[in-house]
Amino acid sequence: MKTTSSSSAVGVWLIGAYGDIATTLMVGTHAITQSLASTNGLITSVAPFTELPLVELSQLRFGGCDIRDTRLVLSAEEVYRRSRTYSREILDAVCPALEHAQSDIATRTDFTWNPQQASSADTGPTLAERVDGMRQLLREFKTRHRLSHVVVVNLASAEPLAQPHASTHSLTGLEQLIQSNAKQHLSPSDCQAYAALAEGCPYLNFTPSRGGELGGLQELALRNRIPFGGNDGKTGETLVKTALAPMFAYRHLQVLSWEGVNLLGNNDGATLSHPENRTAKIANKGNVLHKILGYPVHSGVTINYVPSLGDWKTAWDLIHFSGFLDAPMTMQFTWQGCDSILAAPLVLDMIRLADFALRRGEAGPMRHLACFFKNPIGVEEHSFYRQFQMLLAYAQHHLGKRNTVTE
């Protein structure tokens, strides 16, 4: 009954292609298609999502860019050495596939925020040149491999917040800011989203950066009939937070404080160790409790860089709450997960779902992807369970419609 909609390949254009998540995503995709790993972690590999005609993993074609100048096999080797999340055997088996994709990875420093050149942000190519450069790469990637379409995913480091500007609310204003090279008002992720949507590519922003949020971009997405999604992948501590907080709400246990500590040692951790880069992430992490519980909660979020942990993030949360007779009690949890292992399958799930939405003609923010994000664009619901019900409802809607129409 299940058929894939198209025989041609779907492109995946990864911004931050040498990073841990992108590397793990590519290694994992090839390991699965070579039957060397299970599909654990992939939501779209279980019912009811398996009933949807999603693109097969084997049909994905990877390309992208990174500010570093290295090779995919070297970044895969580095992840292996540092985090041991896959075995030497798997690494060896997928190396040919990584080599095959190498020519589609460009080294570009003008598409993302560059921690090393932070002070010279206003130098280099103009915004218009950057947007045009990325659009050209996307077109070439699509043409070179005769891709039916390309999904663009932002996996780059968190960037500092740009200064707000009223012109960003409309597409016309946004394009004027690009033309006037207003770098203080448009961050790299804004330009990425513009370039992707302008080229007809769904754009997924897995980072805490702004990409996709601006009114002008939403206008562009609707005009071009392109779906997009973001922001900030919900992979570990915040996932647990949004799964547990409803329990306290439903039991009328008053949360007095919810203190979270995140220790991590990957590039993400290094970037976030600078206060200006973590502003957005901490806001996303803290915000969810107020919305789930319905009252403001003292909720600190600490992010500390601990290099020896590599990609293995350890989060510890203390929940101090008050029950019957106002008796104070506590719960604490320690989450020891590997960021890229947790993130990569979510990105794959969303690539498949974005491709599906595009083929169905859906446009604008994909609200049904809320369960994947700390700060889902256009969605106020933060309870992980309610968010997942939204995704289930979406799948059931499409299964129902397909059943009615096709059969």
How far from the centroid of its chain's Cα atoms is residue 246's Cα?
24
Which span sits near a second copy by CB under 8 A: 196-204, 217-225, 313-321, 356-364?
A: 313-321
Nearer to a second copy, 81 or 144 (CB): 81
- Closest distance of CB 100 from a second copy, Å: 20
- Among 107, 172, 330, 403, contact with a second copy (rule: CB under 8 A): 330
Q: What is the spatial distance between Cα 139 and Cα 136, in angstroms, rounded to a whole number?
A: 5
- Closest distance of CB 128 from a second copy, Å: 38
- Among 290, 304, 359, 390, contact with a second copy (rule: CB under 8 A): 304
- Closest distance of CB 385 from a second copy, Å: 4
- Closest distance of CB 76 from a second copy, Å: 12
Q: List the interface residues with a second copy, window 215-274 (CB under 8 A).
A: 239-240, 243-244, 246-247, 250-254, 256-257, 259, 261, 263
Contact of 374 with 234, CB cutoff 8 Å: yes
- Closest distance of CB 392 from a second copy, Å: 9
Binding track over 90-129 against a second copy, x by CB under 8 A: x---------------------------------------
- Among 8, 139, 333, 390, contact with a second copy (rule: CB under 8 A): 333
Contact of 215 with 169, CB cutoff 8 Å: yes
Nearer to a second copy, 28 or 173 (CB): 28
Return the C-alpha torsion angle 201, 205, 210, 212, nearest 10.
30
Contact of 106 with 137, CB cutoff 8 Å: yes
Instruction: Tell me the HSE value of 226 on the side-chain side, using a 13 A CA sphere.
Output: 26
Burial class, 275, CB count within 10 angstroms (exposed 0-12 / middle 13-18 / buried 19+):
exposed
Which span sits near a second copy by CB under 8 A: 1-9, 64-72, 85-93, 137-145?
A: 85-93
Instruction: Tell me the HSE value of 169 on the side-chain side, using a 13 A CA sphere.
Output: 4
Q: What is the spatial distance between Cα 76 and Cα 95, in angstroms, rounded to a whole number?
A: 8
Q: List the interface residues with a second copy, window 386-405 (CB under 8 A).
A: 388
Q: List the interface residues with a second copy, window 20-39 (CB under 8 A).
A: 24, 27-28, 31, 37-39
E strands in 243-327: 254-264, 301-305, 312-322
Nearer to a second copy, 219 or 349 (CB): 349
Contact of 288 with 382, CB cutoff 8 Å: yes
Rule CB under 8 A: say whether 320 interacts with a second copy.
yes
Nearer to a second copy, 93 or 182 (CB): 93
Distances (CA, A) of 351 to 128, 193, 344, 357, 385: 27, 15, 11, 10, 22
- Among 48, 164, 275, 323, contact with a second copy (rule: CB under 8 A): 323
Nearer to a second copy, 45 or 112 (CB): 45
Binding track over 364-383 against a second copy, x by CB under 8 A: -------x------------
Rule CB under 8 A: say whether 384 interacts with a second copy.
yes
How far from the centroid of its chain's Cα atoms is residue 203's Cα?
10
Interhelix angle 171-179/215-224, rounded to 10 degrees, is 110
Residue among 385, 155, 48 at smallest CA distance from 250: 385
- Closest distance of CB 196 from a second copy, Å: 25
How far from the centroid of its chain's Cα atoms is residue 365's Cα?
14
What amino acid occupies position 299? S
For the record, the structure tokens of 320 come out as 């101090």
- Closest distance of CB 294 from a second copy, Å: 9
- Among 23, 45, 157, 271, contact with a second copy (rule: CB under 8 A): 45
